[in-house]
Structure 1
Amino acid sequence: MQYFAGIEGGSTNSKLVVLSKAGKILCKKRGGPTNPYLSFPKTVRTISSLVSDAKRELGLDLEKPFGGLGLTLAGIDDEKIYTDMLSHFRALPEIAKQYDLTSDTIGPVETAFGPGHVSVVIISGTGSACRLVTEKGEQYKCGGWGHILADEGSAYHTSVDAIKMVIRREEKNYLENSFTRVFDIEPLRNKMKEYFGIQKCEEIVPIFYHHFEKKRIAGFTKSIADLAFKENDELAKSILRRTGKKLSSLVRGAIEQYKMDHPMPKKLNIIGVGSVWNSWDIVGKSFLEEFQNVNLKFCVLNETAAIGAATSVARKSGVHIPLDRSKLIKVIYEN
């Protein structure tokens, strides 16, 4: 039997699936981060380990390659990284016979909608990025430059925005938006101290400059969401609404690029990926305000984008894997 594997990887963790030619999920595995831009050696080790673990679970010979391995990874957009990654695995005949490498924005589109559609993926997890993919596979990019240059609308930048707000209020600094200054800062300040385990604002500095962990800082967004939803805090809600606006700006940027070459599609299929979309009732509604006159469908995945990575490499190998995509997505909004 021929097997096709796919891996969805990012800066936080990775997911592997193995599919049969009939589209049945035979195996699922989880592993560490696989962002080659951050660590090429660690990424290739993790991928090789995931593949070996999957073969063991399936009772396969470790030296027998999969029919194909699809990788949808953060950081793979870099041309040198892409070439080096492909060369590395092609030199390992026991891994797979065929490879398909794409960015972490393409796997979700393939999983949710398949080829042949104008589709948009908007990622908002630890980082953020947007891609619009045409029927022919052309890509229009907005965002995805990393947390120093961009990542607006991500969990990391949402957390940083909130922390800056606390600091500025502490200093009576009028760089804070005049709209948010009317809200009580105390609940957010308390959440920040509780989450980071600090007693005063000055103690946040070493967390950013001496013990920096992007994932840890991004995780504070969950506390902000709890404050908004569980405690009905207006400041927290305003922070999440601003996140929604930033994400809509990324999508609008990709659309504007697309419209320079094509007419606006009759319907826009959007797939949202990442933990920030769990706050849909605030983030999503703010996001949709920018698309009131656009015919669109917004979905999230019920399954990992590794499925799309596997079907894509199978198609590259001449094998069409049938999928019931209606079971792979959850439609949150459609007009």
Structure 2
Amino acid sequence: MGLDIGGSHTRGVLFRGGEPVREARSGSANVQNVSASEATRSLRSVLSELAAPPGTPVLAGAGGVDTPHDAAALADLIRSAGHLDASTPVRAVHDTRLILAAGGHTAGIALIAGTGSVAWGVDASGREARAGGWGYLLGDEGSGYWIGREAVRRVLRLSQQLPTAREGEALTRAVLEHAGVAEPTDLIGAFHDRPDRTHWAGLARAVCEFASSGDAAASELVAAAAEHLAELVLTVARALDEPLPVVVGGGLTGSVVGAELAALLRQRGLTVSLLDREPVLGAPLLARSPRTDPAREAPGPAPGTGGPASSSRKNHAYA
């Protein structure tokens, strides 16, 4: 069984001979986003619907699996939710692993460009590097949440210009409607009263649509997001210091942000693919990889940080 535990949904697939034979979906089972009880209910629903034979191995990918402790805790949660026998193999990995494997690679660089952002890479020898993934309070530059927050900030700045300025009118209307307020100044309270990452990340869709239509304010935000995401990938590429394929996954992949990002990376000589299939479909390839032991599956610290990239930001995830 493969599980892709995202911030809003959990996707499960039962494989036989490497081919999917049954699928299931439920709400998020990531305890960074939902309570442990809600996570358990979502996992129980997916595992029950998959109805795998007893002893079927499980490979789960999730954001927040940043240490061996996180991997073990998520594995325990899955066992408990599914009432799995103690002998059933359950492996938990960071969801970048699923992205890379779904792109058909066991060595390369995976970038998640969704509500949050993180890049991770591994070479043929198993050497790893990571950039980003610090969470919305410390980073997640270029992510859907970052775009949404920057759109709110842009509207607030535009509201302080001369009344005759017409720049960003379409963006302003979209942001005000999304926030459910009438005036730009009302955005301050609305944003602080509802610090919901998924809600504000929802603005990214409108920003991308406006940018595709030539809106200058939205285009600037899209260009900045693509630059931030490209830098995450380039940081990993420099750390590994060899040509590796890049696979981009996440909600922004099929947007104008994904297109601009791919163009930037190709200009730097990298081979880039924008993932057009479910990341969970990478589970069989990843399960065959020797790098699926939980003790090794937690991504290393971001280059230059000297420690876990996000161990202090999570609640602690899966703990």
Same fold per superposition (TM over 0.5): yes
Q: What is residue 38 of structure 2 aligned with on the other side?
A: 42
TM-superposed CA distance for 1:301, in Å, is 2.5
2:84 is the alignment partner of 1:108: no
Q: What is residue 284 of structure 1 aligned with on the other side?
A: 259
TM-superposed CA distance for 1:68, in Å, is 0.7
Gaps of 5+ in 2: 293-319
Instruction: Please list the CA deviations of residues 144-173 of structure 1 after superposition, one character each: whole Å capped at 9, or x if unmatched.
Output: 111111100101101111111111122249
Could you say what the CA RMSD is over the residues aligned between the two structures, in angstroms?
Answer: 2.6
- Percent identity between the two aligned chains: 21
Give the whole-Å Cα distance in 2 for the aligned partners of 1:183 and 1:200. Answer: 15
SS at structure 2 position matched to 1:136:
coil
2:265 is the alignment partner of 1:274: no
Q: What is residue 300 of structure 2 aligned with on the other side?
A: none
Give the whole-Å Cα distance in 1 for the aligned partners of 2:127 and 2:43. Answer: 27
> Residue 33 of structure 1 aligns to which amino acid in structure 2?
S
Give the whole-Å Cα distance in 1 for the aligned partners of 2:102 and 2:219. Answer: 31
SS at structure 2 position matched to 1:236:
helix
Instruction: Please list the CA deviations of residues 98-153 of structure 1 after superposition, one character each: whole Å capped at 9, or x if unmatched.
Output: 122110111111121232x3x11111111111111212333211011111111001
| TM-score normalised per structure 1 | 0.77
Give the whole-Å Cα distance in 2 for the aligned partners of 1:162 and 1:270. Answer: 28
2:1 is the alignment partner of 1:25: no
2:118 is the alignment partner of 1:129: yes
Number of positions where the alignment pairs a residue of Structure 1 with one of Structure 2: 286
Give the whole-Å Cα distance in 1 for the aligned partners of 2:267 and 2:7. Answer: 33
> Residue 284 of structure 1 aligns to which amino acid in structure 2?
A
Give the whole-Å Cα distance in 2 for the aligned partners of 1:48 and 1:95. Answer: 16
TM-superposed CA distance for 1:243, in Å, is 0.8
Which residue of 217, 221, 225 maps to 1:239?
A: 221
Give the whole-Å Cα distance in 1 for the aligned partners of 2:55 and 2:249. Answer: 27
8 Å CA contact 1:11, 1:33 repeated in 2: yes
Q: What is residue 90 of structure 2 aligned with on the other side?
A: 99
Q: What is residue 201 of structure 2 aligned with on the other side?
A: 218
Give the whole-Å Cα distance in 1 for the aligned partners of 2:58 and 2:73. Answer: 16
8 Å CA contact 1:14, 1:33 repeated in 2: yes
Distance 1:107 1:50, change over 3 A: same
Q: What is residue 280 of structure 2 aligned with on the other side?
A: 306
Give the whole-Å Cα distance in 2 for the aligned partners of 1:110 and 1:79. Answer: 20
Distance 1:135 1:36, change over 3 A: farther
Give the whole-Å Cα distance in 1 for the aligned partners of 2:78 and 2:262. Answer: 40
TM-superposed CA distance for 1:34, in Å, is 2.4
Give the whole-Å Cα distance in 2 for the aligned partners of 1:34 and 1:302. Answer: 23
Q: What is residue 139 of structure 2 aligned with on the other side?
A: 150
8 Å CA contact 1:183, 1:235 repeated in 2: no
When Rg is computed on C-alpha atoms for both structures, the one with the higher figure is 1
Distance 1:310 1:45, change over 3 A: farther
TM-superposed CA distance for 1:186, in Å, is 1.4
